[in-house]
Chains A and B, each alone.
Chain A
């Protein structure tokens, strides 16, 4: 009889079954085809040197999470990059499309596994990045409007785009020229 209260949390736990799963919205190929329909791209893995990592960190204020970068180059100088930023619990995988001059053509969310914040997939929010160049402020509530229920995701994607624009300016574009 005395143990009856201990049964309450156990019952509540059992009554709600776990529902952990990853959500992949787009593959890299699907995202690239959405951004650059029908265009041919060549994949390469870029390894950042310690000096490049330092330069990117200094230029963007954000340290790369990895020294490996997944890059696809188009025939006319377009670039398509797949990278990750930290979400609340897991990494958010996103893709960035750049034109030959280094301006953002599109941002796509490929994989998102968080309970809240998937509003960053909304086209209207992602459209804020279109046309941004390296050197743009890319700061929440300045040139990028926040979604209040998705602040962490908005912040980290914004920082991720800023970091990749710096990476493009320092590492990728010079090689294209």
Chain B
């Protein structure tokens, strides 16, 4: 591993500055230097890549909770500025007494599961596709700009995600700053979560409409040949129905953590670990799902999440 001699201290300082700026309330396409944040880096025309994501959404209020989200992806460069991808999404959940009521319920536990029993189960979640259009390249323009569209279809969730991706490269392209603005409209089937304020109500298995909005910020510094490290911040907001009005808002949660990236000629891997650092709730039901300053319920985990991405570029 060959370490860079030039402005490492400047790079570290810039990362710190970027992260400190990111504390304001609020993320490869191609080779991903971040776990959660997308960059404007796309595959060249005619090139393709396989990626495998493994995300452990780990830890809720009590006992055990490991929600492994797995995603297998194939990406293809239609042109140098337009990329298409397809995903298979599947998951494995191991939960036991995880919720604020200290029973097995909530996030991804089937709505008809007995909350008194532990749960282990695998599930095929569905398929999704992505289309990324790069308008500006960070190598040629002052900033990089791209737009991302991801429709998803599954038995439990159906949604459409739109993302604006902004990227700024500094220090001879060794420091990558990226910001994503994401909005997703989704129809989602309920879990077996019981409202602690109304414990006699049955869990709701019907699909409900929700809108998610995220502002994601990240900084990644290439500190040696092949190796980059950085920080990522996500601000996740959820709204009832198809609305972004504050009157419909359920909560706002922040996740912060480091990442490490290795990129070789064909292979890359990226590891990121994002911890829930703050949450604000706007409804009584959501407030009841807070524990130790973190929001759980159907929404989040302590580590949200621990993500490994592995990718291989084809000739």
* Per-position 1/0 for A72-87, Cβ under 8 A of B: 0000000000000010
* Per-position 1/0 for B87-106, Cβ under 8 A of A: 00011100000000000000
- Is A66 an interface residue when CB atoms closer than 8 A count as contact? yes
Given A2-B120, A116-B44, A149-B80, A88-B263 contact (CB < 8 Å): yes
Evaluate contact between B122 and A2: CB separation under 8 angstroms.
Answer: yes
- Is B155 an interface residue when CB atoms closer than 8 A count as contact? no
Evaluate contact between A148 and B80: CB separation under 8 angstroms.
Answer: yes
A19 to B265, CA, bound (A): 8
* Per-position 1/0 for B43-72, Cβ under 8 A of A: 111010010101000000000000010101
With a CB–CB cut-off of 8 A, which chain B residues contact A44? none
Evaluate contact between A66 and B70: CB separation under 8 angstroms.
Answer: no
Evaluate contact between B173 and A152: CB separation under 8 angstroms.
Answer: yes
A4 to B68, CA, bound (A): 13
Question: Residues on B close to A: CB < 8 A?
Answer: 2, 4-7, 31, 43-45, 47, 50, 52, 54, 68, 70, 72, 80-81, 90-92, 120-122, 124, 137, 139-140, 172-174, 222, 225-226, 263-267, 310, 312-313
Choose among A9, A20, A150 the residue that contacts B72 (Cβ–Cβ < 8 A). A9
B140 → chain A closest CB, angstroms: 6
Given A9-B52, A9-B72, A149-B80, A89-B264 contact (CB < 8 Å): yes
29 A-B pairs whose Cβ atoms sit less than 8 Å apart in the complex: A2-B92, A2-B120, A2-B121, A3-B122, A5-B91, A5-B122, A6-B68, A8-B70, A8-B90, A9-B52, A9-B54, A13-B52, A13-B310, A19-B266, A20-B265, A20-B266, A65-B172, A66-B5, A86-B173, A86-B174, A88-B263, A89-B226, A89-B263, A91-B225, A116-B47, A141-B140, A151-B137, A152-B139, A156-B173
Evaluate contact between A90 and B92: CB separation under 8 angstroms.
Answer: no
Among all A-B residue pairs, the 6 with the closest Cβ atoms: A149-B44, A148-B80, A9-B52, A151-B139, A20-B264, A89-B263
Evaluate contact between A89 and B173: CB separation under 8 angstroms.
Answer: no
Evaluate contact between B264 and A16: CB separation under 8 angstroms.
Answer: no
- Is A128 an interface residue when CB atoms closer than 8 A count as contact? no
Evaluate contact between A63 and B6: CB separation under 8 angstroms.
Answer: yes
A116 to B68, CA, bound (A): 32
A16 to B263, CA, bound (A): 16
Choose among A18, A63, A91 the residue that contacts B266 (Cβ–Cβ < 8 A). A18
A8 to B50, CA, bound (A): 13
* A interface majority secondary structure: loop
How many inter-chain residue pairs (CB < 8 Å) link A and B?
Answer: 99
- Is A155 an interface residue when CB atoms closer than 8 A count as contact? yes
With a CB–CB cut-off of 8 A, which chain A residues contact B91? 5
A29 → chain B closest CB, angstroms: 23
* B interface majority secondary structure: loop
With a CB–CB cut-off of 8 A, which chain B residues contact A91? 2, 225
A5 to B70, CA, bound (A): 8
- Is A140 an interface residue when CB atoms closer than 8 A count as contact? yes
Q: Which residue of A3, A89, A116, A152 has the most chain B CB atoms within 10 A of its CB atom? A: A89
Evaluate contact between B6 and A65: CB separation under 8 angstroms.
Answer: yes
With a CB–CB cut-off of 8 A, which chain B residues contact A122? none
Evaluate contact between A12 and B264: CB separation under 8 angstroms.
Answer: no
B175 → chain A closest CB, angstroms: 12
Evaluate contact between A16 and B312: CB separation under 8 angstroms.
Answer: yes
- Other than the given A148-B44, A149-B44, 9 more pairs (CB < 8 A) read A8-B72, A12-B72, A18-B264, A86-B173, A115-B266, A116-B44, A116-B47, A141-B140, A152-B173
B169 → chain A closest CB, angstroms: 9
A177 to B6, CA, bound (A): 31
Evaluate contact between B225 and A89: CB separation under 8 angstroms.
Answer: yes
A window 109-145: CB within 8 A of B: 113-116, 140-141
- Is A21 an interface residue when CB atoms closer than 8 A count as contact? yes
Q: Which residue of B lies closest to A18 (CB)?
A: B267
A148 to B169, CA, bound (A): 18
* Per-position 1/0 for A90-110, Cβ under 8 A of B: 110000000000000000000
A152 to B30, CA, bound (A): 14
Evaluate contact between A155 and B139: CB separation under 8 angstroms.
Answer: yes
A156 to B172, CA, bound (A): 8
A18 to B4, CA, bound (A): 25
